[in-house]
Amino acid sequence: MTNSNSETYDIIIIGGGATGLGIALESASRGYRTLVVEAYDYGKGTSSKSTKLVHGGIRYLANLDFALVKEGLEERYYFINNAPHLAKAQTYLIPFQNIKEKIKYWLGIKIYDSLAGKLKLGKSRFLSKEETLREAPDLASEKIIGGAVYLDGQFDDTRLLITLVKTFETLGGTALNYTKVTDFTYADNKQINGIIVKNQLNEETKTYFAKHIINATGTFSDSIMNLAEKTTQHKNVAAAQGTHLVFDKEIFNSDHAILIPETGDGRVLFILPWHDKALVGTTDVKVNEPTLDPQAQENEIDFILEVLSEYCNKPVSRHDIKSVFSGQRPLVKSAKDKNTAKISRKHEIFETGNGLVTMAGGKWTIYRRMGQDTIDYIEKTRKLHKTQSRTHHLRLFGYTTDKIPYPLGIYGTAREEIIKIQQELNNFQLLHNELPYFQAEVIYHVRYEHAKTVEDILARRTRALLINSKAALASATTVASLMANELGYDHLWQQQQLKSFTTECGKYSV
Ligand SMILES: Cc1cc2nc3c(=O)[nH]c(=O)nc-3n(C[C@H](O)[C@H](O)[C@H](O)COP(=O)(O)OP(=O)(O)OC[C@H]3O[C@@H](n4cnc5c(N)ncnc54)[C@H](O)[C@@H]3O)c2cc1C
């Protein structure tokens, strides 16, 4: 079956987001020959635009879905333990404006901590009004009656995703970005036995065969199921958009993340210290047609500014925004779900009549669990030899518990390679004086992290576009030139890259 334009694997995964890479890691670590294909870049979809929380979801307690919260809290533990260079425990302060909030969250935190049990990240505490304002001095003081501090996790989503790719590769897996599935192949018994892909950079097509093919395309799950089974209209997944604004940290300078407990639409809003900035989000807006790289709506931006202004002791305006980014949640539908904020964050497996397995829903925090459940499902339903999951304690690429200083700490032990590149090129310069990234990192991303475009570097290998869109745009020429030198590309390539990055950048600016 295999020739120069085709290859055969045990398991193929479509989609290079948190779900796809979680499954890929599980599959390769259990010894399956595994391929993962991503149509654009890893994390180009939702997985680069999360709020960066590693959590059980304290707000889901309101739905009394204790099992869902407990699962998230368990996974939070493995998540942080397996990648301490990328994920950490973070204190979250909840300021209360009234007794109702105080009682609700007092109870919530007690339940949250008891569900975490031994896997608790630290001790929660309740604060007087004075203590609350001392610990978060930028809070508007008039309405606050007190607060509470509890612990959850925080991480950098695309750095973790690239680290999953690297770990997967060390286990023998093959990961291809810019490789889009355009159709399926079928065996004589009409069961799916392969994918036809197009390389989005050079237009080449190729076929990959596998006994088991898994769809992990998030908000695009239904369209891939429809492509596999052309006679059926699958409607399993809904999409809901969430937007974040990023500010200089001076706008809300606190070591604590802040959880605003009750917004006008009955949600919560986070203000998080992230890459030396303040990241604020998110909204929840129903989406009819999912898009890969959505743009924030004006009313989402206004809403976040309004809530932030209510809690901040100084005025906050559009001029303060450094970047804005939006993502779309893949939510598993049930017939009665109307309000997307209330649709459960549970994950679910679907299978078409011709054997395409889809894993959808869930959240970043439980990427490992979603991977484990998918491979368990394949082994069980296809009557394979049952293997044990090895990912609970699988240390991810670059693992170290050493406290390596920011900004290179995020690479863990791999930062040595960047230092070598700095010495090789005799280049110790930053990309831009308002960004914490070295020029040598670009070369590292090209050589070792599958970076193929200027956007890959500025949006996902570094987080420049998300923390300061103007500075990211100003760095694009340097990035294009460094990449062109490394890869032997011409001036035309650089021009095309700049044009396309400038368009993309528009979505991240207000
Ligand atoms: C605003 C927001 C905030 C969030 N915050 C958090 C949080 O703080 N903590 C948390 O735990 N979770 C959070 N989540 C949830 C989490 O981000 C998502 O559940 C998760 O990223 C979904 O990952 P995924 O891999 O399923 O989808 P995606 O990341 O979208 O990946 C799907 C991939 O499939 C690819 N694809 C599509 N079609 C094809 C094709 N034909 N061929 C090949 N590839 C294809 C796409 O290009 C895409 O990259 C948040 C979500 C949103 C929207």
Q: What is the pLDDT of residues 162-210, one digit of tens each?
A: 999 999 999 999 999 999 999 999 999 999 999 999 999 999 999 999 9
Minimum mean pLDDT among 117-131, 261-275, 301-315, 439-453: which range?
261-275
Residue with tokens 């009409």: 190
Closest ligand 1 atom to Cα of 15: 34
* Residue to probe by mutation, ligand 1, list 47, 201, 259, 270, most atoms within 8 Å of CB: 47
| Minimum mean pLDDT range among 209-218, 263-272, 350-359 | 263-272
Q: pTM higher than 0.75 for the full model?
A: yes
Enter the tokens of residue 433. Answer: 């004086």
Q: What is the pLDDT of residues 475-486, one digit of tens each?
A: 999 999 999 999
Which residue from 207, 217, 301, 325 has its CB within 8 A of the most atoms of ligand 1, so it is best to mutate?
Answer: 217
Q: What is the pLDDT of residue 343?
A: 53
Please tell me the distance between residue 99's alpha carbon and the centre of ligand 1 in angstroms.
37
Element (H, E) at 248: strand 237-248
Alpha helices in 411-468 (DSSP H): 415-425, 439-448, 454-455, 464-467
- Tens digits of residue pLDDT in 12-56: 999 999 999 999 999 999 999 999 999 999 999 999 999 999 999
CA dihedral 310, 311, 317, 318 (to 10 degrees): -100
* Mean pLDDT score of the chain: 95
How many angstroms separate the alpha carbon of residue 66 from the centre of ligand 1? Answer: 24
**Nearest one of 246, 427, 54 to 442, comparing CA atoms:** 427
- The mean pLDDT of 483-502, rounded to a whole number, is 98
Q: Whose CA is nearest to atom 27 of ligand 1?
A: 218
Strand, helix or coil at 197?
strand
C-alpha distances out from residue 213 to 13, 15, 122, 364, 458, Å = 6, 11, 41, 22, 32
**SS3 (DSSP) at 126:** strand
What are the pLDDT digits (tens) for 309-363? 999 999 999 999 999 999 999 999 875 554 555 555 689 999 999 999 999 999 9
**What atom in ligand 1 is closest to the CA of residue 242?**
1
Supply the residue whose CA is at minimum distance from atom 1 of ligand 1. 242
pLDDT of residue 407: 87
The CATH superfamily holding the domain 6-46+158-236+343-381 is FAD/NAD(P)-binding domain (3.50.50.60)
Binding pocket residue ranges, ligand 1, CB within 6 Å: 14-20, 37-40, 44-47, 49-53, 180-181, 216-220, 224, 242, 282, 292, 327-330, 362-365
pLDDT at 344: 59
Q: pLDDT at position 84, please?
A: 97
Mean pLDDT of 221-242: 95
Pocket test for ligand 1, best of 13, 26, 41, 46 (most atoms within 8 A of CB): 46
Residue 229 has pLDDT above 70, yes or no: yes
Q: Nearest to residue 277, comparing CAs of 465, 474, 439?
A: 465
User: Which pLDDT belongs to residue 338?
Assistant: 45
Atom of ligand 1 nearest to the CA of 19: 25
Exposure string over 351-377, b if 16+ CB within 10 A, otherwise e = ebebbbbbbbbbbbbbbbbbbbbbbbb
3-state secondary structure 400-412: CCCCCCCCHHHHH
% of the chain with per-residue pLDDT over 90: 91
Beta bridge partners of residue 125, listed in sequence order? 149
Residue 341 has a pLDDT of: 53
Evaluate whether 292 touches 44 at the Cβ level (below 8 Å).
yes
Residue 379 exposure: Cα atoms within 13 Å on the Cβ side: 16
For residue 115, report the distance from its CA to the centre of ligand 1, in Å.
26
The pair phi, psi for residue 202, each rounded to 5°, is -125, 5
- Nearest CA residue ID for atom 15, ligand 1: 363
- Which token pair is 198? 């197009």
Question: Would you say residue 1 has pLDDT above 60?
Answer: no
Neighbours of 143 (CB within 10 A): 12
Q: How far is the CA of 243 from the centre of ligand 1 (A)?
A: 14
Confidence of residue 253 (pLDDT cuts 50, 70, 90): confident
Q: Following CA atoms 205, 209, 215, 220 in sequence, which dihedral angle do they give, to the nearest 10 degrees?
A: 20
Domain boundaries, the chain: 6-46+158-236+343-381, 86-154+240-333, 408-506
Residue 364 CA to ligand 1 center (angstroms) comes to 8
Question: What integer pLDDT is reported at residue 333 of this predicted model?
Answer: 86
- Residue 212 CA to ligand 1 center (angstroms) comes to 22
Which superfamily is assigned to 86-154+240-333 in CATH? D-Amino Acid Oxidase, subunit A, domain 2 (3.30.9.10)
| Residue 454, token pair as written in the block | 């200027």
The span from the CA of 440 to the CA of 429, in Å, is: 8
**What are the structure tokens assigned to 278, written together?**
């303040």
What gap in Å lies between CA 186 and CA 177, rounded to an integer?
24
* Topology match between the domains 86-154+240-333 and 408-506: no
Q: How far apart are CA 5 and CA 508, in angstroms?
A: 39
User: 21 phi and psi, to 5 degrees?
Assistant: -70, -30
Closest CA to ligand 1's atom 35:
15
- Region 416-441: what's the mean pLDDT? 97
Distance 301 CA to ligand 1 centre (A): 21
CATH of range 408-506; options 1.10.4160, 1.10.10, 1.10.8, 4.10.860? 1.10.8
The CA 37 to ligand 1 mean position distance, Å, reads 14
DSSP letter, residue 244 = E
Which pLDDT does position 186 carry in this prediction?
98
What is the rounded average pLDDT of the residues 80-95? 97
- Residue 360 Cα, ligand 1 centroid: separation in angstroms? 9
* Token code pair at residue 194: 């392969």
